[in-house]
Amino acid sequence: MLPKLVILATNKLQDFQPMFKKELTLSDYFLIAANLLPVIGVWAWKWDPKEMFLVYCLETIIIGIFNLVKMAIVTLVKKTDNWHTNGKTTRQSGLVFMIFFLVHYGFFVVVQMSIFFEVSGIGKGSGINALNFFYKWPQLLHTDSLIVLGIFVFCYCYKMIFEFVLSGEYRSASLMMLMFQPYGRIFIQQFTVIVGSMFLSFGAGKIFILVFAAIKIFFELFINYEALINKRMKEAEKDSGQQ
């Protein structure tokens, strides 16, 4: 009985192994540093916590833009790819993947921004809300916030160029996988940003930005989103093949 339990437990642990990163890339270290900078700024340099949380919201948009660019690159190379749905596999144009991602991901961004603006009150008195935010957002940020935003852009640009383009990953990348790739980070980020905006409304931004950054860094350090998505994709392909 005991050996069977040991074997079962070992198999279960092996199922979870793809979740955890075995080693960090240089872009991972860049992102960790980028997430630490707002914390240092708020605690040591008196940066505005609300602006830093707004930068984290903008990071959601940055991730989406770079992911859309990656999908466009793959589309130029592959033209079409497998679309898995309801246990069936069909061949779809890369543009279909991109449009679906743009609409679906855009909905997540609008929801996040709407809740953040409503709870944090960051746009009050400025005439800026979740709807006109996309062309008025620079009015809400000062130099320090723009610097942090620029660092995030650099991190994701570096990651795309060196780990996706120059590595040749774009040649074999799955559009279905790319379409869902950002959501692991986004679910964690949206939850913490929304909860954090509540803390901001009570004036506890300094405390929560520390907790928020720690949660983000933990997931950047340990969770292998790509491996998890690949595993689910293979399971979907296997299910499709059995239909």
Reported as a single tens digit per residue, the pLDDT across 88-107 is 888 999 999 999 999 999 98
Output the pLDDT for position 240. Answer: 54
pLDDT band at 17 (very low <50, low <70, confident <90, very high): very low
User: How would DSSP label each residue in the chain?
Assistant: -HHHHHHHHHHHHHHHGGGB-SS--HHHHHHHHHHHHHHHHHHHS---HHHHHHHHHHHHHHHHHHHHHHHHHHHHHHSEEEEEETTEEEEEEHHHHHHHHHHHHHHHHHHHHHHHHHHH-TTTTTT--TTTHHHHGGGG--HHHHHHHHHHHHHHHHHHIIIIITTSGGGT--HHHHHHTTHHHHHHHHHHHHHHHHHHHTT-HHHHHHHHHHHHHHHHHHB-HHHHHHHHHHHHHHHHHH-
* pTM of this structure: 0.82
